[in-house]
């Protein structure tokens, strides 16, 4: 038997149970891995609460981990027993061991330890596609990033600064503002009530070509109001709740704006894209350009406490669950 945090129904953190589960066997195309570290992500909250629909019940939530391959099923050639691997974006993560489609695994460079890998695969690959593909951040850009002291946020701030951008980070407290500045945000704004006015002041009226908004419902209007004409609203998360239906005419009235609602799944669906996105992340982390802040760890069996902290906005940077 192995241990896994499973939900049998959706709801609050209390629905997560530390269950005994039969040890899975890898079928053709799969690998069995022993997980040394598991990543905590906001998407885990969405699956637990029911905002995102569970494919089946009971469900082992979690989308990210790092560990060693124990065995592979028939036909698997990209990894072998003993390999150090990591992944993001495959449900079934909150477990001591798990099977996974082998083509979703990437091999870890020796320089990246399991905790760092589990902390960065999902949030770091997200930061990569957001600033390298959804909108390609370039030297001289000024950009807005919400939840700038969070998991995706701290990575995005560092990476965008490295690319030559001026980051305006939005956070909820002075302590988080300090942290965001220490990780590359040139400016910080506390709360979103005066965001557009602050962006106007900082940019001398020009506003910004892109807003990365992971907060959703609460910040939608403030984000649109911070964009320059033809600017791109990247609405990539719902920490405060999903953005309600809106009148598309608003985009015209606010300056012929663009909106996208991207997901990591689309940007890493092809194997070649997964390798490129992960490869760029490994490069900036190995070079020390991006430092992964593992600011909280919890035993995996205490995942409920980790969810409570995340939802209460008590965490900063990345959080790792230890099997």
Q: By the criterion CB under 6 A, which residues form the site for ligand NDP?
A: 41-43, 122-123, 126, 147, 149-153, 171-172, 176, 214-215, 218, 236-240, 262-264, 310-311, 313, 315
Nearest to 203 by CA among 221, 182, 229, 180: 229
Structure-token pair, residue 141: 């850009």
Q: Which residues contact 288 (CB under 8 A, 6 or more apart)?
A: none
Give the nearer residue to ligand NDP in terms of CB position, either 72 or 152.
152
Q: Which residues contact 148 (CB under 8 A, 6 or more apart)?
A: 154, 156, 157, 167, 169, 170, 171, 176, 180, 185, 188
Give the nearer residue to ligand NDP in terms of CB position, either 31 or 215.
215
Give the nearer residue to ligand NDP in terms of CB position, either 99 or 156.
156
Smallest distance, ligand NDP to C-beta of residue 152, A: 4
Angle 305-309-312 from CA coordinates, rounded to 5°: 135
Smallest distance, ligand NDP to C-beta of residue 198, A: 15
User: What DSSP line would sit under 284-299, residue for residue?
Assistant: HHHTTSS---EEEEEE
**Region of 116 on the Ramachandran plot (φ > 0 left; ψ -120 to 50 alpha; else beta):** alpha
| Calpha distance 103→84 (Å, rounded) | 14
CA distances to 91, 123, 294 from 43, rounded to whole Å, are 10, 11, 18
Smallest distance, ligand NDP to C-beta of residue 264, A: 4
Give the nearer residue to ligand NDP in terms of CB position, either 150 or 323.
150
| Calpha distance 277→82 (Å, rounded) | 24
Give the nearer residue to ligand NDP in terms of CB position, either 2 or 119.
119
| Calpha distance 298→127 (Å, rounded) | 24
Give the nearer residue to ligand NDP in terms of CB position, either 216 or 231.
216
Smallest distance, ligand NDP to C-beta of residue 263, A: 4
| Calpha distance 29→36 (Å, rounded) | 22
- Residue 258: CA atoms inside 13 Å, Cβ hemisphere, count? 12
Give the nearer residue to ligand NDP in terms of CB position, either 19 or 218.
218
End-to-end Cα distance, the chain: 14
Place of tokens 């309600």: 244
Smallest distance, ligand NDP to C-beta of residue 307, A: 11
Give the nearer residue to ligand NDP in terms of CB position, either 240 or 297.
240
Smallest distance, ligand NDP to C-beta of residue 306, A: 11
Residues 94 and 303: beta-carbon distance below 8 Å: yes
Smallest distance, ligand NDP to C-beta of residue 42, A: 4
Smallest distance, ligand NDP to C-beta of residue 14, A: 18
Give the nearer residue to ligand NDP in terms of CB position, either 73 or 191.
191
Smallest distance, ligand NDP to C-beta of residue 233, A: 13
Output the furthest CA–CA distance in the chain (Å, rounded). Answer: 61
């Amino acid at each position: 038997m192995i241990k896994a945090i499973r939900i049998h129904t959706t709801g609050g953190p209390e629905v997560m149970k530390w269950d005994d589960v039969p040890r899975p066997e890898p079928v053709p195309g799969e690998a069995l891995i022993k997980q040394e570290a598991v990543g905590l992500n906001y998407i885990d909250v969405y699956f637990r609460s029911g905002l995102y629909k569970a494919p089946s019940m009971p469900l082992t939530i979690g989308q990210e981990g790092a560990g060693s391959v124990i065995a592979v099923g028939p036909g698997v050639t990209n990894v072998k027993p003993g390999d150090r691997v990591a992944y993001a974006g495959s449900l079934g993560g909150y477990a001591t061991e798990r099977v996974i489609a082998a083509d979703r695994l990437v091999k870890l460079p020796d320089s990246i330890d399991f905790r760092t890998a589990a902390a960065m695969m999902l949030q770091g690959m997200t930061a990569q596609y957001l600033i390298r593909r959804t909108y390609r951040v370039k030297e001289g850009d000024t950009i807005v990033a919400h939840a700038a002291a969070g998991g995706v946020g701290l990575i995005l701030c560092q990476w965008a600064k490295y690319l030559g951008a001026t980051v305006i980070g939005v956070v909820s407290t002075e302590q988080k503002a300090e942290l965001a500045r220490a990780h590359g945000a040139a400016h910080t704004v506390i709360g979103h009530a005066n965001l557009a006015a602050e962006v106007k002041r900082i940019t001398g009226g020009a506003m910004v070509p892109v807003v990365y908004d992971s907060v959703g419902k609460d910040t939608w209007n403030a984000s649109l109001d911070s964009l320059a004409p033809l600017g791109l609203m990247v609405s990539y998360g719902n920490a405060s709740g999903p953005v309600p239906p809106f009148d598309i005419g608003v985009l015209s009235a606010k300056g012929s704006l663009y909106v996208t609602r991207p997901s990591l799944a689309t940007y890493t669906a092809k194997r070649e894209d997964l390798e490129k996105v992960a490869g760029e992340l490994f490069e900036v982390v190995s070079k020390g350009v991006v430092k992964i802040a593992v600011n909280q760890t919890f035993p995996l069996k205490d995942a409920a406490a980790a969810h409570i902290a995340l939802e209460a906005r008590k965490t900063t940077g990345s959080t790792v669950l230890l099997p």
